[in-house]
């Protein structure tokens, strides 16, 4: 006995050693088989990380595992992934491992972990899963040869674990997504007639032509499927499935035919509790349905029968009904009662366009509010036709008190409506208003509206709309948000297009407001707490809502914009594509009136504007104090008291506060300043000029000034303009930067009479009216900044000019007179004696004449030099008695 046991033990050890050793010998063979099969039979690229073989864990079968399998398409889907699997294992008899590479392998079990499969059909009808190569010599290959290549499946068990499936048909705009798939089946495929016992769990989403029919719905299916492989017919036996928590029993068959699939399936819910209806609603919305108290019944049944092909669909007869039902969630205070549902989906022809939905009745009651409705939808896959009737009252606050729906913002308000409508979707898309038939009225009171496109919630105190074919009349609208209040009337052209499609809200409105704060709409209120109802980011707050395509005629008593308070704002605003055009806009501002036209565009990353501004009778000191743009255009004007008339064309970008970014603005301006007073002491520039040119009192400059200027790239250029001090014209021109760096010149034409008593005595000696017209051009060059100016004057050129003018006048005056007269006059004027006397007669030589001319120039120069280079007292009223200060 001991010998027998010893022999058995030795045999077992040898057998175990063989099982351990065989995989190392055969793994390379399996790797080659798989790769060769792919290369010979697949029009796609197959790759994997590793292939392993185990004989022990699966004994008496062999298990082959493939890690990180990947199949990538070739043209026309080049580079797209058809399938991936984290792990793929095959179980087969051990004897299959010793077959030649040209012999078929029999596989009993397949298990796939995290299989991701994407099936796609492009607009040309080409599929990405048709990857099996066509054998050109297939017609000459015998049946035995055909069976001798590749794999043979005799599957007793298969599994899909945590997998996903995607199907996309670009031609019909259909998509199907299945996630969290866990599926297993047991059966034998090799027989002509067999059965497959399967269990499936998944979450399904499906949309057709942009319409979402399923949205992450949970699906469960326990199915016993009879398979007739010869007839390609699959019969459902003893089947029970779940859509979310709704149980369904179904039977029938699906048969593959040359034209497509022949379907004949009937289904019904095995119970009749209204809780089954709530089970249809996605679990994320229904929540804790097992604890809900319900009354009343609910039934659903249907028949799907016919051919699925490129031209046809099965006929449909699906019905859903509930009578006098109710439900109440245990944690909510309200219940929904008197629920009546009568709905059906039908198709009697097999033509997809003939599918229609009848919601003959959907009524319910919350508290004492009764809501009734019905709707009929035809031509689901084409130009959808819709007709509906709504009649009832609904307290919106009760929705969340009766049903556990999670909303971003709490609903409130009373909705009352009686409306019937009839339209087709193409009419909405193309704004064919004549085919949109609306009749009735809807009113809302106490409603709060929030959106990503606005900063603060809008509280609608009341709104009343009347529906007529083609238009919706806004009879009244009273609302407030933040500090703002506004009321409106008007018309809406495409309310259904806005609500049911991606159309913009089109219409025209008359808006009135007592207080309208721009910050309530465009930027977050800085005083708001952390619990602000703001629904958009700060950067998005600067966007004009994209859904608006309307014209607004505005009349606001008080508009608050940044630090400005605009009174009596009137005008028209057209909004489209995030662009606002202003026309005929007027407002009272700075004790004057401002006219505005132009546009603001917020479509780009940074908002931009292009405006024409007309200012009438602005208070200068107040406007230059509060408007930063005026401060940089003409900073010196802040010391002026009076009125401003100006027209400004300006464009640029807006900053995060929706104010002009001064570094980007450009344009031009025409300004008229009506001055009542100038405070020189407040301006270093004027004080500096006053000290250099003390014969001018800058407090008594000309009252009215007109000038033109242009600005761009942070630089203001002032075109030459002339102002006067008494009879002294002053021409000013130059430029300054927005940082107040100046480069200006002021040219003063100064009459000689302002230059002191010595010059006036010289003029008196000449005694000619022409002398009174003589003036000196004095140029003041101004640099530095407005707060710290640098000023220089060109007096030398003025002296030289005056000298030449006086000499010329005197020379012309003395032409033809005796030389003694000339000598006497010049001697008296200059106080010198450059003549030679002979016999009581003054004889003047040529050299003396030349000396006299030089003496005139020198004498006049000394006089003017003393006057202009020294300090003078202010000229008196007649300027004749002024004296020169040394």
Instruction: Give the mean model confidence (pLDDT) for residues 659-679.
Output: 85
Highest average pLDDT, of 282-296, 581-595, 618-632, comes from 581-595
Distance of alpha carbon 301 from alpha carbon 248, whole angstroms: 9
User: Residue 825's pLDDT is what?
Assistant: 44
The verdict on 640 and 700 lying in the same domain is yes
User: Residue 89's pLDDT is what?
Assistant: 86
Q: What is the 3-state secondary structure (H, E, C) of 747-784?
A: EEEEEHHHHCHHHHHHHHHHCCHHHHHCEEEEEEEEEE
pLDDT value at 826 more than 50: no
Domain count of the fold of the chain: 2
Q: Is residue 857 part of a domain?
A: yes
User: Residue 835's pLDDT is what?
Assistant: 39
Helix and strand element counts for the chain (H, E)? 15, 40
Could you please report the per-residue DSSP string of 423-459?
EEHHHHHHT-GGG-EEEEEEEEEEEEE--TT-SS-EE
pLDDT value at 142 more than 50: no
User: Residue 95's pLDDT is what?
Assistant: 73
Instruction: Give the mean model confidence (pLDDT) for residues 209-214.
Output: 68
Band (pLDDT 50/70/90 cuts) for residue 540 is very low
The verdict on 694 and 759 lying in the same domain is no
The verdict on 555 and 613 lying in the same domain is yes
The verdict on 638 and 758 lying in the same domain is no
Based on the number of CB atoms within 10 Å of its own CB, is 703 exposed (0-12), middle (13-18) or buried (19 or more)? middle
Distance of alpha carbon 271 from alpha carbon 263, whole angstroms: 25
Q: Are 513 and 485 in contact (CB under 8 A)?
A: yes
In tens, the pLDDT along 695-721 reads: 788 777 777 888 899 999 889 999 998
Task: Please provide the average confidence, as pLDDT, over all residues in the chain.
Answer: 78
In tens, the pLDDT along 309-340 reads: 878 889 999 999 999 999 998 889 999 999 99
Which two tokens mark 150?
């590749």
Q: Is residue 372 part of a domain?
A: no
In sequence order, the β-bridge partners of residue 549 are 506
Band (pLDDT 50/70/90 cuts) for residue 882 is very low
Distance of alpha carbon 483 from alpha carbon 453, whole angstroms: 18
Could you please report the per-residue DSSP string of 692-744?
H-TT--GGGS-SEEEEEEEEETTEEEEEEEEEEETTEEEEEEEEEETT-BEEE
The verdict on 609 and 540 lying in the same domain is yes
Q: Is residue 736 part of a domain?
A: no
Nearest-5° angle of CA 454, CA 456, CA 460? Answer: 95
Q: Is residue 145 part of a domain?
A: no
Matching residue, tokens 């003029």: 763
User: Residue 177's pLDDT is what?
Assistant: 92
User: Residue 434's pLDDT is what?
Assistant: 77
CA-closest candidate to residue 340, choices 301, 370, 308: 370
Q: Quick check: pTM over 0.75? A: no
Matching residue, tokens 């101004």: 782
pLDDT value at 776 more than 60: yes
In tens, the pLDDT along 222-249 reads: 888 888 878 888 898 878 888 777 888 8
Q: Is residue 567 part of a domain?
A: yes
User: Residue 508's pLDDT is what?
Assistant: 94
Which two tokens mark 33?
């088989």
The verdict on 695 and 788 lying in the same domain is no
The verdict on 491 and 616 lying in the same domain is yes
What is the distance, to the nearest Å, from the Cα of residue 396 to the centroid of all Cα atoms in its chain?
30
Q: Are 147 and 112 in contact (CB under 8 A)?
A: no
In tens, the pLDDT along 516-537 reads: 887 776 544 344 334 444 444 4
Distance of alpha carbon 535 from alpha carbon 545, whole angstroms: 13
Q: Is residue 359 part of a domain?
A: no
In sequence order, the β-bridge partners of residue 714 are none
In tens, the pLDDT along 795-810 reads: 666 656 666 666 677 6
In tens, the pLDDT along 589-641 reads: 989 999 999 999 988 888 899 999 999 998 887 888 888 888 888 887 767 77
The verdict on 694 and 764 lying in the same domain is no
Q: Are 653 and 618 in contact (CB under 8 A)?
A: no
The verdict on 639 and 524 lying in the same domain is yes
The verdict on 770 and 681 lying in the same domain is no
Q: Are 694 and 686 in contact (CB under 8 A)?
A: no
Q: Rounded to the nearest 5°, which phi and psi values hold at 529? A: -80, 175
Distance of alpha carbon 604 from alpha carbon 577, whole angstroms: 11
Instruction: Give the mean model confidence (pLDDT) for residues 171-193.
Output: 82
Band (pLDDT 50/70/90 cuts) for residue 352 is confident
Q: How many CB atoms sit inside 10 A of residue 329's CB?
A: 21
Distance of alpha carbon 338 from alpha carbon 811, whole angstroms: 120
**Residues near 454 by Cβ (< 8 Å), separated by ≥ 6?**
481, 521, 535, 536, 545
Q: Is residue 176 part of a domain?
A: no
The verdict on 689 and 764 lying in the same domain is no
Q: Is residue 842 part of a domain?
A: yes
Band (pLDDT 50/70/90 cuts) for residue 867 is very low
Distance of alpha carbon 650 from alpha carbon 669, whole angstroms: 8
pLDDT value at 87 more than 50: yes
Structural domain span for residue 824: 754-869
Based on the number of CB atoms within 10 Å of its own CB, is 78 exposed (0-12), middle (13-18) or buried (19 or more)? exposed
**Residues near 848 by Cβ (< 8 Å), separated by ≥ 6?**
823, 834, 835, 836
Q: Of 654, 689, 714, which residue is a domain's last?
A: 714
Task: Tell me the HSE value of 227 on the side-chain side, using a 13 A CA sphere.
Answer: 16
The verdict on 491 and 596 lying in the same domain is yes
């Amino acid at each position: 006995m001991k010998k027998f046991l010893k022999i058995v033990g030795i045999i077992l050890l040898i057998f175990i050693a063989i099982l351990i050793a065989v995989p190392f010998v055969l793994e390379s063979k399996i790797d080659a088989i798989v790769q060769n099969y792919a290369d010979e039979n697949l029009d796609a690229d197959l790759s994997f990380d590793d292939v392993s073989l185990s004989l022990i864990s699966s004994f008496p079968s062999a298990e082959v595992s493939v890690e990180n399998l990947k199949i990538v398409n070739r043209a026309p889907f080049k580079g797209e992934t058809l399938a991936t699997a984290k792990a793929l294992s095959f179980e087969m008899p051990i004897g299959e491992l010793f077959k030649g590479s040209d012999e078929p392998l029999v596989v009993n079990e397949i298990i796939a972990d995290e299989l991701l499969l994407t099936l796609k059909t492009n607009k040309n009808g080409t599929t990405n899963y048709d990857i099996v190569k066509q054998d050109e010599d297939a017609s000459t290959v015998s049946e035995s040869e055909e069976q001798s290549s590749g794999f043979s499946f005799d599957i007793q068990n298969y599994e899909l674990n945590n997998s996903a499936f995607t199907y996309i048909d670009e031609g019909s705009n259909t998509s199907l997504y299945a996630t969290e798939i866990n599926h297993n089946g047991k059966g034998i495929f090799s027989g002509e007639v067999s059965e497959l016992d399967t269990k499936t769990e998944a979450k399904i989403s499906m949309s057709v032509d942009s319409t979402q029919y399923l949205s992450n719905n949970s699906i469960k299916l326990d199915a016993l499927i009879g398979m007739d492989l010869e007839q390609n017919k699959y019969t459902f036996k003893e089947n029970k499935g779940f859509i979310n928590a709704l149980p369904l029993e179904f039977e029938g068959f699906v048969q593959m035919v040359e034209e497509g699939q022949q379907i004949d399936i009937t289904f019904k819910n095995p119970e009749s509790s209204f809780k089954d209806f709530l089970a249809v609603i996605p679990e994320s919305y229904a929540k804790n349905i097992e604890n809900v108290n319900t009354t009343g019944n609910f039934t659903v049944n249907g028949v799907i029968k016919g051919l699925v092909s490129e031209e046809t669909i099965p006929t449909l007869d699906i019905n859903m009904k509930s009578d006098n039902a109710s439900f109440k969630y245990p944690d909510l205070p309200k219940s929904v009662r008197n629920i009546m549902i009568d709905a059906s989906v039908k198709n009697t022809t097999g033509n997809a366009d003939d599918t229609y939905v009848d919601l003959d009745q959907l009524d319910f009651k919350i508290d004492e509010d009764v809501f009734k409705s019905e709707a009929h939808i035809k031509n689901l896959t084409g130009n959808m036709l819709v007709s509906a009737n709504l009649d009832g009252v609904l307290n919106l606050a009760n929705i969340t008190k009766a049903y556990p729906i999670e909303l971003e913002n709490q609903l409130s308000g009373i909705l009352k409506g009686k409306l019937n409508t009839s339209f087709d979707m193409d009419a909405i898309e193309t704004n064919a208003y004549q085919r949109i038939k609306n009749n009735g009225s809807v009113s809302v009171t106490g409603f709060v509206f929030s959106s990503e496109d606005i900063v603060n919630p809008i509280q609608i105190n009341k709104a009343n709309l009347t529906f007529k074919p083609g238009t919706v009349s806004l009879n009244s609208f009273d609302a407030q948000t933040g500090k703002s209040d506004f009321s409106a009337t008007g018309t809406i052209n495409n309310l259904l297009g806005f609500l049911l499609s991606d159309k913009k809200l089109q219409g025209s409105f008359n808006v009135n407001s007592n207080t309208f704060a721009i910050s309530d709409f465009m930027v977050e209120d800085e005083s708001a707490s952390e619990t602000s109802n703001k629904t958009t980011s700060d950067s998005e707050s600067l966007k004009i809502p994209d859904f608006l395509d309307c014209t607004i005629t505005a009349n606001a008593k008080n508009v608050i914009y940044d630090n400005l308070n605009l009174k009596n704002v009137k005008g028209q605003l057209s909004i489209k594509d995030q662009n606002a055009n202003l026309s005929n806009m007027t407002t009272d501002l700075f004790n004057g009136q401002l006219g505005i036209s132009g546009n603001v565009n917020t479509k780009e990353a940074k908002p931009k504007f292009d405006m024409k501004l007309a200012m009438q009778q602005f208070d200068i000191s107040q406007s230059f104090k509060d408007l930063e743009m005026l401060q940089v255009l003409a900073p010196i004007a802040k010391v002026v008291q009076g009125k401003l008339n100006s027209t400004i064309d300006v464009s640029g970008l807006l900053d995060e506060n929706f104010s002009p970014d001064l570094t980007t603005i450009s344009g031009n301006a025409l300004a008229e300043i009506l001055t009542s007073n100038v405070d020189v002491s407040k301006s270093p520039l004027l004080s500096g000029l006053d000290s250099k040119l003390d014969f001018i009192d800058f407090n008594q400059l000309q009252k009215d000034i007109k000038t033109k200027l242009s600005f761009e790239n942070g630089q203001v250029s002032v075109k030459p303009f002339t102002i006067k001090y008494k009879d002294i014209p002053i021409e000013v021109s130059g430029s300054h930067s927005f940082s107040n760096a100046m480069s200006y010149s002021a040219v003063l034409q100064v009459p000689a009479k302002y230059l002191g008593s010595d010059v006036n005595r010289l003029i008196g000696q000449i005694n000619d009216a022409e002398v009174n017209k003589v003036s000196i051009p004095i140029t003041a060059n101004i640099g530095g900044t407005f707060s710290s100016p640098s000023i220089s004057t060109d007096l030398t050129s003025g002296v030289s000019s005056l000298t030449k003018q006086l000499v010329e006048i005197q020379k012309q005056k003395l032409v033809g007179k005796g030389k003694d007269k000339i000598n006497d006059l010049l001697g008296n004027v200059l106080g010198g004696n450059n003549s030679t006397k002979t016999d009581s007669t003054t004889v003047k030589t040529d050299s003396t004449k030349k000396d006299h001319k030089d003496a005139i120039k020198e004498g006049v120069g000394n006089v003017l030099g003393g006057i202009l280079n020294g300090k003078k007292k202010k000229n008196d009223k007649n300027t004749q008695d002024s004296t020169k200060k040394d």
